[in-house]
Amino acid sequence: MQKFLDFGFSLLKGENDFGTTISQGEKVDIPNCPVRLPENGFSPNDYQGIFSYATTFDLDFDPEKDVIQLVFDGAMVQVHCYLNGIDLGNKVSAYVEARFDITKAVKKSGNELLVILSSYEDPTVPPFGKALDYMTFAGIYRPVHVDVLPKTHLGNVRVFAHADGKLEVYPEILGGEGKENCRYLLKDGENILKTFSENVVHIENIVPWDLDNPKLYSLEVILDSPYGSDRKTFAVGFRDAIFKESGFYLNGKSMKLVGLNRHQTYPFVGPAMPDQAQEDDAKTLKDFGVQIVRTSHYPQSEAFLDACDRLGLLVVDEIPGWQYTGKDKPWRDNFLHFVTAMVDKEINHPSLVLYGIRIDEGQDDDELYTKANAICHEKDPYRQTTGVRNFKNSHMLEDVYAFNDFGGGLINRNKVKSARNKPYLVSEHNGHVFPTKITDNQQKRIDHAMNHLRVLDDMYGKEGISSAIGWCAFDYNTHADFGSGDEICYHGVFDIHRNPKPAAYAYKMQNSKEPFLYFARPLIPGDTDDALIKHVVLFTNCDYVLFYRGDSLIGRFEPDRKDYPNLPHPPIILDNFMGEMLLKEGLKKKDALKIGKCLSLAGSEGFRIKKTKVLPYIPVFLKNLLLGRLTISKIVDIFFKYMLVWGEKASVYRIEAYKDDKKVFTREMGSPSHFDFDVSCQKKVLHNEKTYDVSKIVIRYHDEFDMDTPYLTRTMALKCEGPISVIGPSSRPVKGGYCTFYVRSSKVDYQTPTKVTVEGFEKNVDIAFQVD
Ligand code: GAL
């Protein structure tokens, strides 16, 4: 039995035993960030400190038969607990659970729990000790529960499920006499497929787990003893995952993996967000075509990994760290504790394909990493290990060499000396090389997206690069030595609120199952230097587009396979704004296309255009001048007639996108003059279960052509009625065309009408919620 304590802690700053009135202090629910923080422009000193949390609880248990444990799934950094005045000691949690045996201290009613939390960056605990490019925040930020277990109970259970239906289960039995055996039930939904008691069985006709069909079964492990039954249930995915020298294979099928790194922190509260928010991140990544995520640089919540299992998103996990490897025993002991705890926590996730057990970009340390590898391999003989380096020649103690390749494009695998003949992946690229804000100008945003595409093209094209995992998914709060001077690293392909920059669509277009089209660079000359009419860039998985000005066809445009020969879906560049329209000027079709292309190039690059780019077009101009079809003044007229996008109707362009020769989209593009916003609300029924629930409300501004509006300034406000409130400030500026809020439920034991009103300049939108 598990009892969650998450609702109704009392919080006081500093060390405080609450005296006789445990109810004093601020009332908070877990996950909790104990300080109010802005989105950016604050320092770790604002959240580092000692915080005291207290609560009371009753518990149903049998003192003759049960052992009782108090578990913190995640508290930053260390917890010191007192139960009913009894000192239970201090434990490091940070990114893994801290478990206290409270059997001797607990009562059936009126238990008083006091937790003294230290969120200081303790140099004996990885990732601390030196500089650190991410914030760790403070708080009890994952659930707290009391586990009531029979004296003979299950410890860690290791489940290995293979694509051929072989299923292995190895339970750890604690508090027994060594003679106990478990029973197992494998289920498909409610259907029992097999009951057994052997450690190894074969299951017939299983559907393997893969990215398109992440089929999960459930395995119940039951341990009976004179003290009662203990049960644990695991989601099981039958799959074989292996990185070889030639690449990655899932169930024997070779795959190139597109990936992103994820930090687990959110604005205002850091990592203190409940399960739904963790799941939202996994879903965002999956929706945008990501196939593998690295939990940089620490073990992340079970809710996130569970969602990866359900959605079919592969995971490389990682122990806490960042460049610094401590030399002192306490630091190294904590490191190995994290390796053990991470493997114990994550071993049964089918989505997990690699253990990351080296300090990110740390130096070689054979003693430490020999031990770390041994811990993993002993517990898990099937999953490979990796370690992330930013140098090419390193002692190779893991199974897979992971390299951060920030050079722009990717170097050949064989240039990374220690990776020769080894399984190899690129664990980071881009990032600090090209920080980009969602509000940056169009040139910067498109360059950012193209930089990611360049790497993906190399990954697909080069031999033995199994995966490229970009830095990074979401902008994140960081220490002052990094970031853009406001304590944010703008390295994400999404902003800190998880709103997409154009680079996010570079990922989406590779793997989207549905037809998809995004204007990565629309036609907005006023947003370019010298008001140039830059080529339009479309990110799409369609086969080709027909491009029209008004009703006149300009031409058919195909994906740019010349510059991106290896991408499944290269971008489509609209680099000719005249095309077939020049037939009206008396030119032959072939000549019209060339002349249109050259003049569009001139419009795109202006006076600074390189002569070499123009040279190939000289003959077609000369030929038509000699034939009298063109004169110099006619060329100038044509340029202004067809390139200028000012004016009403004529400047509206139309794009028809085709897949398998069927028209799947028609989109228009022109000078915007009307703006409005849409509101999407991720879910409207919030469940208070083990803790409060959250829902994401995304406001997206767009123009009349449904284009992004990255510079629009507006203020949005949320008004909440009923047991629901906003996480962070309830009134905020629109940024990058988006304004995103999380609302959370509060615990009430009566039904009450619950409503959120989104107040914007153009309109107000009511959303009816239900909290149960
Ligand atoms: C890497 C590091 C990441 C992040 C990134 C910024 O060197 O592993 O944590 O700092 O640089 O681009």
Over range 720-733, report the average pLDDT.
96
| Residue 384: both structure tokens together | 């490979």
Find out whether 208 and 163 touch, Cβ atoms under 8 Å: yes
pLDDT at 634 over 80: yes
Q: How many CB atoms lie within 10 A of CB 286?
A: 20
Distance, in Å, from the CA atom of 111 to the CA atom of 460, rounded to the nearest integer, reads: 58
What residues does 659 pair with on adjacent strands? 662
CA of 131 relative to ligand 1 center, distance in Å = 12
pLDDT at 528 over 80: yes
- Of ligand 1's atoms, which has the minimum distance to the CA of residue 406? 12
Strands (E), 494-592: 517-521, 536-540, 544-549, 552-557, 572-574
Q: Which of 39, 97, 346, 361 is catalytic?
A: 361
pLDDT at 748: 80
- Closest-CA residue, ligand 1 atom 3, reads 133
Q: How far is CA 721 from the centre of its chain?
A: 31
CA of 129 relative to ligand 1 center, distance in Å = 17
361 given a catalytic annotation:
yes
pLDDT at 646: 62
Over range 101-108, report the average pLDDT.
98
pLDDT at 707 over 90: yes
pLDDT at 647 over 80: no
DSSP secondary structure code for residue 363 in this structure: P
Q: Which residue blocks in 312-391 are alpha helix, DSSP H?
A: 329-346, 366-379
Find out whether 404 and 361 touch, Cβ atoms under 8 Å: yes
* pLDDT tens for each residue of 378-423: 999 999 999 999 999 999 999 999 999 999 999 999 999 999 999 9
pLDDT at 652: 86
Cβ–ligand 1 distance for 432 under 6 Å, the answer yes
| Residue 472: both structure tokens together | 């990074």
Distance, in Å, from the CA atom of 75 to the CA atom of 69, rounded to the nearest integer, reads: 16
| Residue 735: both structure tokens together | 């940024």
pLDDT at 643: 83
pLDDT at 649 over 60: no
Q: How many CB atoms lie within 10 A of CB 101?
A: 12
What residues does 373 pair with on adjacent strands? none
Please report which helix (H) or strand (E) contains residue 676, including its range: strand 675-681
Owner of token pair 């990351």: 356
- Of ligand 1's atoms, which has the minimum distance to the CA of residue 388? 8
Find out whether 594 and 615 touch, Cβ atoms under 8 Å: no
The DSSP annotation for 703-765 comes to ETT--B-TT---EEEEEEESSEEEES-SEEE-BTTEEEEEEEE---SS---EEEEEE-SS-EE
Find out whether 225 and 65 touch, Cβ atoms under 8 Å: no
What residues does 241 pair with on adjacent strands? 250
Cβ–ligand 1 distance for 471 under 6 Å, the answer yes
pLDDT at 650 over 60: no
Q: Counting Cβ atoms within 10 Å, is residue 381 exposed (0-12), middle (13-18) or buried (19+)? A: exposed
Find out whether 51 and 278 touch, Cβ atoms under 8 Å: no
Cβ–ligand 1 distance for 183 under 6 Å, the answer no
Q: How far is CA 129 from the centre of its chain?
A: 27
* pLDDT tens for each residue of 410-420: 999 999 999 99
Distance, in Å, from the CA atom of 449 to the CA atom of 340, rounded to the nearest integer, reads: 38
pLDDT-derived band at 35, boundaries 50, 70, 90: very high
Crossing angle of helices 442-461 and 502-511, in 10° steps, is: 30
Find out whether 712 and 737 touch, Cβ atoms under 8 Å: yes
Cβ–ligand 1 distance for 360 under 6 Å, the answer yes
- Closest-CA residue, ligand 1 atom 9, reads 133
Q: Which residues contact 86 (CB under 8 A, 6 or more apart)?
A: 104, 105
pLDDT at 753 over 90: no
CA of 468 relative to ligand 1 center, distance in Å = 14
CA of 431 relative to ligand 1 center, distance in Å = 7
pLDDT at 136 over 80: yes
Find out whether 614 and 637 touch, Cβ atoms under 8 Å: no
DSSP secondary structure code for residue 548 in this structure: E
| Position 185, amino acid | L
Reference 289, options 312, 305, 315; nearest CA is: 312
Find out whether 76 and 30 touch, Cβ atoms under 8 Å: no
Cβ–ligand 1 distance for 404 under 6 Å, the answer yes
Which range among 142-146, 497-501, 642-646 shows the weakest confidence by mean pLDDT?
A: 642-646
Distance, in Å, from the CA atom of 68 to the CA atom of 763, rounded to the nearest integer, reads: 54
- Of ligand 1's atoms, which has the minimum distance to the CA of residue 133? 10
Please report which helix (H) or strand (E) contains residue 450, including its range: helix 442-461
Average pLDDT over the chain, rounded to whole?
96
pLDDT > 90 fraction of the chain, expressed in percent and rounded: 93
Which range among 497-501, 522-526, 754-758 shows the weakest confidence by mean pLDDT?
A: 522-526
CA of 72 relative to ligand 1 center, distance in Å = 29
Please report which helix (H) or strand (E) contains residue 283, including its range: helix 275-287
Over range 693-708, report the average pLDDT.
97
pLDDT > 70 fraction of the chain, expressed in percent and rounded: 99
Reference 686, options 760, 607, 754; nearest CA is: 754
Residue of 322, 432, 475 to test ligand 1 pocket, by largest number of atoms within 8 Å of CB: 432
pLDDT at 211 over 90: yes
CA of 440 relative to ligand 1 center, distance in Å = 21
Distance, in Å, from the CA atom of 427 to the CA atom of 469, rounded to the nearest integer, reads: 5
* pLDDT tens for each residue of 235-248: 999 999 999 999 99
Cβ–ligand 1 distance for 431 under 6 Å, the answer yes
Find out whether 535 and 604 touch, Cβ atoms under 8 Å: yes
pLDDT-derived band at 21, boundaries 50, 70, 90: confident
pLDDT at 645: 61
Distance, in Å, from the CA atom of 584 to the CA atom of 588, rounded to the nearest integer, reads: 10
pLDDT at 648 over 60: no
pLDDT at 525: 86
Q: Counting Cβ atoms within 10 Å, is residue 288 exposed (0-12), middle (13-18) or buried (19+)? A: buried
- Of ligand 1's atoms, which has the minimum distance to the CA of residue 296? 9
Please report which helix (H) or strand (E) contains residue 444, including its range: helix 442-461
DSSP secondary structure code for residue 126 in this structure: T
Reference 266, options 479, 488, 449; nearest CA is: 488
Cβ–ligand 1 distance for 483 under 6 Å, the answer no
Residue of 428, 455, 489 to test ligand 1 pocket, by largest number of atoms within 8 Å of CB: 428
Cβ–ligand 1 distance for 440 under 6 Å, the answer no
Cβ–ligand 1 distance for 492 under 6 Å, the answer no
CA of 426 relative to ligand 1 center, distance in Å = 13
Owner of token pair 């409503």: 755
pLDDT at 428: 98
* pLDDT tens for each residue of 307-319: 999 999 999 999 9
Distance, in Å, from the CA atom of 307 to the CA atom of 284, rounded to the nearest integer, reads: 11
pLDDT at 738 over 60: yes
Cβ–ligand 1 distance for 585 under 6 Å, the answer no
- Closest-CA residue, ligand 1 atom 10, reads 133
- Of ligand 1's atoms, which has the minimum distance to the CA of residue 361? 8
Strands (E), 608-690: 653-659, 662-669, 675-681, 685-686
**Strand-strand pairing, 182-188 and 217-225:** antiparallel
pLDDT at 61 over 60: yes
Over range 515-540, report the average pLDDT.
93
C-alpha distances out from residue 316 to 64, 291, 353, 546, Å: 43, 11, 6, 41
Over range 177-199, report the average pLDDT.
96
pLDDT-derived band at 651, boundaries 50, 70, 90: low
